[in-house]
Amino acid sequence: MTRPLAIDLFCGLGGWTSGLLAEGFDVIGFDIEAHVYGEHRYPAQLVIQDVLTLHGSQFRSADLIVASPPCQEYSYMAMPWSKAKAKAAAIRADETGAELERLNRLFNACFRIQREACAAAGRHIPMVVENVRGAEPWVGRARWSFGSFFLWGDVPALMPATIKARKVPGFRFDGSGRSFQTASVAETGVKAPGMNWSDRTKRGQNFTRIAGRHAVASDGRKQVGSGREWFAGEGATSRETSSKSPTRKFASAMIAKIPEPLSRHIARTYLPMRELVGASA
């Protein structure tokens, strides 16, 4: 009997995939780009393709579909900032529904793909979609939350305890060799606050903002220095931490990774599906 097949949409660095592989699935991931940051990369077969262009019929042989569509807009509009509130208000004020459709297009694509896959297979193919709490006002109430990882779709009735699982910035890029995921979630289930973007900073000092000409550590203490190193020169911290920098993209990808306890639980729940289908055929 062949191994069951899972499809990972918006796969990123493969948080879903790592747990699925560990529990005996073969996995094919789809993303609009390959996330490769040194030794960190997607751990299974990767297809570079816009998920919006996929048709679910090509997944008729799948046993499970998982997805983590981007959450940036949902997260932004959940913030108490005037611009964030204005953005949300503008979407709600659009009587045509076009802005809401644009906002939810990636989330809705997951369920379209599931429907098409089920129709082609002639059977139900379960799907679990992960996103943030901020998505609920726009896509409907989640069926479960694993800490701050909110789940929609075919979420099992029995889920693992998740008191300490938090989806907040906590990535450490300090040259210690211990990434955010391995140092925090994999060992404790906690995504601890604090973002250390540069290996120039002293270990343990997670810089969160710039106040005037001084960097401010997470404990509120101003750091010595003019602050010019953040903006000037080839190796300026501002270059390393911009939204398009590899360091920032790496941190974002690691923050978005599904915790292993969650991915393995979903994998174990749906692992017998192919065997059950085969036995009843």
Per-residue pLDDT of the chain (281 residues; tens, 9 = 90+): 589 999 999 999 999 999 999 999 999 999 999 988 888 899 999 999 999 999 999 999 999 999 999 999 999 999 999 999 999 999 999 999 999 999 999 999 999 999 999 999 999 999 999 999 999 999 999 999 998 899 999 999 888 876 555 554 443 333 334 433 333 444 334 443 333 333 333 333 333 333 333 333 333 333 344 444 333 444 444 344 455 677 777 777 787 889 999 999 999 999 865 554 554 44
Beta strands in the chain (DSSP E): 5-9, 26-31, 36-37, 40-41, 45-48, 64-67, 127-131, 144-146, 149-153, 207-211, 214-217
Same-domain check for residues 156 and 110? yes
Same-domain check for residues 102 and 240? no
Alpha-carbon gap, residue 226 to 215, rounded angstroms: 8
Same-domain check for residues 274 and 230? no
Predicted confidence (pLDDT) per residue in 105-162, tens digit: 999 999 999 999 999 999 999 999 999 999 999 999 999 999 889 999 999 988 887 6
Unique residue bearing structure tokens 């404990």: 219
Alpha-carbon gap, residue 24 to 275, rounded angstroms: 13
Within-domain flag for 175? no
Within-domain flag for 246? yes
Same-domain check for residues 132 and 194? no
Which residues, including other chains, have CB under 8 Å from residue 19's CB and lie 6 or more apart?
Answer: 258, 260, 262, 263, 264, 265, 266, 267
Same-domain check for residues 124 and 225? no
Alpha-carbon gap, residue 278 to 42, rounded angstroms: 30
CATH classification at residue 122: 3.40.50
Same-domain check for residues 147 and 62? yes
Same-domain check for residues 147 and 198? no
Within-domain flag for 174? no
11 touches 33 (CB < 8 A): no
Within-domain flag for 158? yes
Same-domain check for residues 121 and 59? yes
Q: How far does Cα 156 stand from its chain's mean position?
A: 20
Same-domain check for residues 144 and 238? no
Instruction: Provide the 3-class DSSP secondary structure of residue 243.
Output: coil
Within-domain flag for 201? yes
Same-domain check for residues 212 and 155? no
The distance in angstroms from the start CA to the end CA of the chain is 14
**Neighbour-count burial of 55, counting CB atoms closer than 10 A to its CB (0-12 exposed, 13-18 middle, 19+ buried):** exposed
How many CA atoms does the CB half-sphere of 136 hold within 13 Å? 13
Within-domain flag for 135? yes
User: Domain residues for 200?
Assistant: 180-253
Interhelix angle 260-270/15-22, rounded to 10 degrees, is 50
Within-domain flag for 172? no
Same-domain check for residues 146 and 38? yes
Within-domain flag for 167? no
Predicted confidence (pLDDT) per residue in 79-88, tens digit: 999 999 999 9
Alpha-carbon gap, residue 132 to 167, rounded angstroms: 8
Domain count, the chain: 2
Same-domain check for residues 95 and 117? yes
